[in-house]
Structure 1
Amino acid sequence: MTDRKRTDIDWQDVRIFVALARHGSLSAAARMLSVNHATIARRIHSLEESLGDKLVERRPEGYVLTPVGTRALEAASDMEQAAHVLRRGIADGTTTGLVRISSSPGLSAGFLTSRLVKLAMRYPRLDIDLAPALRSVSLERHEADIAIRFDKPKDGDIIARPLTTVGYGFYGTEDACRSVEANGDLVFIGFNEADAYLSGAAWLSEHFPLARLAFRAKDQFLQSIAARSGIGLALIPHYIGRSDPALRICDLGSCPPSRDVYQVTRRRDRSDDAIRLVAEEIVGIFEQARDLFL
């Protein structure tokens, strides 16, 4: 394709390329943009024709970026952000833009959502997209601008900034805790079978193999809601348990080890006002609530 004549770029082609690059499949990109697969394929071909280079390759695991596609995604993401700023309007001295944040479901629901909403209210031209995900998203593919991850990433052109250390405990209602402390049967609330590989689920199974798992839910915030019923104890982070007046901690003698939490951003985004602002605000949010975590 490199010998073909370059032509003017269609912005709609760029939007669809960014969506395919982020999500890695025609179906996911089509769902996000409410178009069909054929439109995605046609637009990608159009952009490749305009640029004179191959941008994506189809593999069994999905679509992957070529080296040219990786470079194109950086420029395309900048175009997408600029378009968002223009749609919202430009105001002197006002931070404008869309910032995508990825975090675990428990941290998103049990801590971040209520606090990030207040941030969005303070900056009326700043939009925040909070996406709960158990898997680690790719900042390189621009699936997120800021990722909040347990344990420090070891690769990529990123900045990993420590936020806090998360401690864990068993939480339940007053009646549920008293029953266990009086040597009653151990009854737990845990993760779904599909998520039994997660570290917390594996630890619980190893240390209390004979205990009943009466209720299962996909994330720790949902588990804390279930614990309010008194059905059993939930092994959850302190920041969730301490924030719920219906629950109290119950000492069973041991708990999983604490885990460090990091904020991860792309190094190149240090000059992006919106991402830098949100990243600094997140650091402050965790600092103000540090007593919740350990």
Structure 2
Amino acid sequence: MSVVDTMPKQIPMNFIPHHCVLTADSTTTKLRVVFDGSAPTSNGLSLNSILMKGPTIQPPLFDILLRFRTFKIVLTADICKMYRCVRMFDPDNFLQCIIWRDKPNEDFSIFKLDTVTYGTKPASFLAIRSIQQLGRAEAHVYPVVAETIHHGFYVDDMITGAGSLGEARVILNETKKCLSLGNFHLRKWCSNDDRVFFDIEDNDKQDFLTFDDGTSITKTLGLVWDPKLDVFIFSFSPFGTPAKVTKRTILSAIARLYDPLGLIGPVVAKAKIFLQHLWKEKLHWDESPPQAIQTEWLEICNQYKLITRFSFDRYLLMPEAEIQ
């Protein structure tokens, strides 16, 4: 961002409120600043209400995860502060002004955010479109990269792979070199085969989280993945019994059953059917449901304690198989 010394004339200005979000289990950015582009201004409109979102130009999450299960050698990484790598055109950056001071006894200063800002409606489209354009522009030099960018990225997360170690190394090196031309830095590299990373610095490799049983894991688009065993892991530990059962605590527990591939469909279905019954009661968020529903919910929680962990092989294909 840059300081606004003098208020511009005949150029629209907008001020965006912002706050911090703490994510304790993040391996990189534990404190993230979020800008509220939907905050209404003095005329009742917000910045987001007059901006276009832009079309969806990347594959659906399901498609990317499905392809991820077809590669023998897989590669994951993410772009460091992706939105901050894309510069806003002047004077559009005056629509992204904030006020800031370093200390409570100082006067406020006005700054304008000079890059794409998380919290504005078109941010995702603008950033994705920028890296796709980079891939197209450099396709004559890095032919593998255009394919990887178009089919192996979900916003800033790269999830791709190859059938052999040599192909995986080519993808890694070409993607890294091509994106660096636009100052997009790939980090948090992870693979089911460490031989891919012979020239990657340790500080650019993924820091693993520790699972309940001590297993080293990482998260791939929200799915818990153990790269060494090459399996997806589902755990039901969040189903603790709260002191008071309310519509809010029940929904919070069920929302943690994240299963974009439908691998634990029968388990999720039972919870969602229960949620439908709860919705029919038309309760307030912090209101306790009738005793019969509370009893049913506690029984579901007890049943989930019996199936605390599932694991599924990430790689699906058989050798010499014909894929249809």
TM-score by length of 2: 0.28
Q: Which has a greater percent of helix?
A: 1
